[in-house]
């Protein structure tokens, strides 16, 4: 088993898949050996890296703990340590200069199966949603998700996609109701029904 097969699992799939691993993730290399995988139906971006024996999965929670006061840090750290003991296959960690909270999963490439990889993705999703709820970050999380969808729409507009293609993306890939997708497009494009193709 090598990283190529793992990346292949992420890239292949269909939007109506039941398992997370079977969704067609957009995967791009950020730098040598570090990949960013995303899918509009998933509420997180997945960082993927490899070494000789492991695939490392990381999901940034978007919470920096360095600027917090000591009392708030203790509450966050206590919560994350309790969650570490309650969710299999993943752990919380602090990364970077600002001690940003990440969810991590390390999987042995030698014995890794597609099912185990799917279980790790599911654990990361469950861990993310549990942490957001336990830490009281629901509103910030909803805002972050909407900003992510808007950024994806704007990227497609920059690529010259037509309105019907944008609507199909929002309904088929993101999973929005058609009326909500139309309302979002009207808001983002000033209500024009013509071909978008520009901002």
Query: Which residue segments constitute the domains of the chain, with CATH numbers given?
Result: 3-136 (3.30.1460.10), 140-189 (no CATH)
Highest mean pLDDT among 36-40, 87-91, 185-189: 36-40
Surface-to-core class of residue 40, CB atoms within 10 Å of its CB (0-12 exposed, 13-18 middle, 19+ buried): buried
What integer pLDDT is reported at residue 88 of this predicted model?
83
Token pair for 37 = 């995988």
Starting at the edge strand that comes first in sequence, how are the strands of the sheet with 100-108 ordered?
26-31, 34-38, 46-50, 54-64, 100-108, 91-95
Average pLDDT of 35-61?
A: 94
- C-alpha to C-alpha distance for 60 and 194, rounded to whole angstroms: 38
Rounded percentage of the chain residues whose pLDDT exceeds 70: 95
Consecutive H or E run containing 189 = helix 178-189
Global model pTM greater than 0.75: yes
Average pLDDT of the residues in 126-133: 90
- Render the burial of 116-149: b for 16+ CB within 10 Å, e for the rest: ebebbbebbbebbeebbeebebeeebeeeeeebb
Average pLDDT score over residue span 114-131: 92
**Strand, coil or helix: 184:** helix
The yes-or-no verdict on residue 145 having pLDDT over 80 is no
Cβ atoms 25, 46 nearer than 8 A: yes
């Amino acid at each position: 088993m090598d990283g190529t097969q793992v990346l292949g699992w992420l890239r292949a799939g269909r939007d109506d898949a039941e398992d997370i691993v079977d969704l067609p993730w957009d995967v791009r290399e950020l730098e040598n050996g570090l990949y960013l995988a995303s899918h509009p139906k998933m509420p997180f971006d997945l960082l993927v890296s490899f070494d000789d024996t492991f695939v490392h999965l990381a999901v940034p929670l978007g919470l920096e703990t360095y600027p917090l006061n000591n009392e708030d840090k203790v509450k966050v750290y206590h919560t994350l340590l309790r969650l570490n003991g309650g969710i299999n296959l993943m752990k919380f960690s602090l990364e970077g200069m600002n001690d940003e909270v990440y969810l991590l999963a390390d999987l042995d490439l030698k014995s890794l199966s597609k099912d185990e990889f799917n279980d790790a993705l599911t654990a990361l999703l469950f861990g993310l949603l549990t942490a957001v709820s336990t830490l009281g970050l629901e509103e910030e999380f909803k805002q972050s998700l909407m900003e992510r969808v808007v950024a994806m729409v704007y990227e497609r507009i920059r690529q010259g996609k037509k309105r019907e293609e944008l609507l199909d993306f929002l309904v088929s890939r993101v999973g929005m109701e058609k009326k909500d997708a139309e309302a979002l497009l009207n808001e983002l494009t000033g209500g024009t029904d013509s071909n978008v193709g520009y901002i």
